[in-house]
Amino acid sequence: MTSLTSILRGNVRQYGMIIALAAIIVLFQLSTSGVLLKPLNVSNLVVQNAQILILAIGMVIVIVARHIDLSVGSVAAFVGAVGAILMTKHDVPWPLAVILCLVLAALIGAWHGFWVAYVGIPAFIVTLASMLLFRGLTLVVLNGATVGGLPEGFKSMGNGFLPEIGPDTGLHNLTLVLGVVVVAVLVVLDYRKRQAALTYNFEVLPMWIFLVKQVVLAAVILEFCYLLAAARGLPIVGVILFALIGLYTFIMSKTVIGRHVYAIGGNVDAATMSGVNTKRVDFMVMVNMGMLAGLAGLVTTARLTAANPKAGVNFELDAIAASFIGGAAVTGGVGTVIGAIIGGLVMGVLNNGMSLQGVSIDWQQAIKGLVLLGAVAFDVWNKKRTAGGGGAGAEKQQATAPPPDELLEKLNAGPPGSSGSAR
C-alpha cells in the first residue's frame, strides 16, 4: 500500500494546484460575503469561462508535444465571424454552419501542422504569423462591424440550458440526475482501476484514503450540480465542455495517440527511434488545436449573440496560462487535461472574484501575471527540491509522475517516464 506521505510528496504540484484553487474559492467566498458561490454566479462562471477551458484542453496537448499555439484567439474570432456571416448573410442553417466552421477550423489547424510538422518551422513562428493573419481576416470578413441577428438555436449553444424534466421540485431535476450518474460512473471506474492494480500487485491507495477520496469527490460534484440546479440548470456549453474533458482525458491516458504525444514531448529522438511517426502526431496535434479553437470561437459568438471584431483577444494568453498553472512543463512531455482545467478554473475564479470586489481590469491583469509567475516558480522550485533529494533521476521521475488516481499508467503502457511501480 502507498502511504499518505509518499502520495503527497510524489504529487506536490497536482495537489498544490487543487489546494490553491480551494483556497482562492474560500478567500473570495468570505471576502464577497458569500456571493461567489451563489447559484447564479456559479452558473455564470461556467458560461463565461467555457471557451477558455475548451482552448486549454487543446493547448495543454500542444504544450505536452513541446509546441505552442499563439493563434487560437485570432482563429476563434475568425471562425466565429465566418459562422455569423454564413447564418445571417447566406441563410445557412445553423447546424450546417457549425459543421462547416469546424471543418474550416480543422483546415486552419492542418495549415499550421503542415508548416510545423513537415516543413520544420517552429510552432511559435507559424502561429505568431497566423495570429496576425486571422486577426486581419476577421476584420476583413466583418468589415470592421459587429454582425448580429443570429438564430435562436445557435445562441442557445452559448447561453442556453438543459430543459426541465420531472415534477416541480424547485431545482433543475435533470442536472441533479446527471450529477448522480457522473459520481456513480467515476466511483465505479476508480474502483475497477484499484482492483486491477491489486490483481497485478501494483501499489494502491490504502482503503481509507481511497474511500475519503471518493467521498470528497462525490461531495464536490454533487454540491456543484446542486448550485447549478438551484439556478437555471446545467448550461449547454457546460455539457459540451464536460464531454470534451471526458473524451480528451481518455484519449491522452488510454489511447496510442495519447501515449505518442507524451513520448514525443518527453524525448522526440527516442520516440522516433521507437517507431513513432512524430510528424504525423505533430500534424494531428495542430489540427486538433485548430478545431477546438474554432469550437471556442463559435461558443463565444453564441454567448455574445453576435460576431465581434475584438472577440478572442487574449484568449491565447489565458489558455497558455491555464496550461502552465495546471502543471504543464515548458519543455514538453508533462501535463494533463484535468490539470489544465484546474488552471483555467484558478484564472476564472480570480477574474470573477476580483470583479465582484470591484478590482479594475488593470490590476486583474497584473495579479493574474503574478499568479502565473508564481505557479511556474513553484514548479521550478519543486523540481530542484526533488533533484536535491535524489539526483537528476529523481527530478525526471517527479516531473513526469502521473496524477495519483492514474495507478494503472504502467499497466496501460502510459507515457514514458511515468512513475508507477510494481511489487
Residue appearing with cell numbers 499568479? 371
Pairwise CA distance, residues 61 & 281, whole Å: 11
Q: What is the pLDDT of residue 172?
A: 92
Phi, psi dihedrals of residue 235, rounded to the nearest 5°: -65, 150
Q: How far is the C-alpha of 226 from the C-alpha of 173, rounded, in Å?
A: 10
- What amino acid occupies position 235? P
Paired with 307 in beta bridges are 147
pTM for this prediction? 0.87
Instruction: Name the residue with cell 519543455.
Output: 331
* Domain positions in the chain: 4-160+235-400
d(CA 177, CA 173) in angstroms, rounded, equals 6
Across the range 355-370, mean pLDDT stands at 87
Write the CB contacts of 64 (distance below 8 Å, at least 6 apart in sequence). Answer: 252, 261, 262, 265, 328, 332, 333, 334, 335
What SS3 class is residue 236? helix
SS3 422: strand
Residue-wise pLDDT tens digits, 120-154: 999 999 999 999 999 999 999 999 899 988 999 99
Distance CA 324, CA 344 (A): 10
* H or E element that contains 301: helix 278-304
DSSP states of 44-78 as a string? HHHHHHHHHHHHHHHHHHHHHTT---S-HHHHHHH
Instruction: Assign 3 a pLDDT band (cuts: 50, 70, 90).
Output: low
> In 3-state terms, what secondary structure has residue 161?
strand
Cell representation of residue 329: 512543463
Task: Report percent pLDDT > 90 for the chain.
Answer: 65
The model's pLDDT over 297-347, given as tens digits with 9 standing for 90+, comes to 999 999 999 999 999 988 999 999 999 988 888 888 888 999 999 999 999
Query: Which pLDDT belongs to residue 411?
Result: 38
Whole-number Å distance between alpha carbons of 51 and 48: 7
What is the C-alpha to C-alpha distance for residues 189 and 183, in angstroms, rounded to an integer?
10
* Grid cell for residue 94: 445553423
pLDDT of residue 8: 57
Residue 137 φ/ψ region, left for φ over 0, alpha for ψ in the -120 to 50 degree band, beta for the rest: alpha
Choose which CATH entry (1.10.3470, 3.30.1490, 3.30.70, 1.10.10) describes domain 4-160+235-400: 1.10.3470
Which residue in 231, 175, 316, 246 sits closest to 44, CA to CA? 231
Amino acid at 282: D
- The whole-number average pLDDT for the span 256-279 is 93
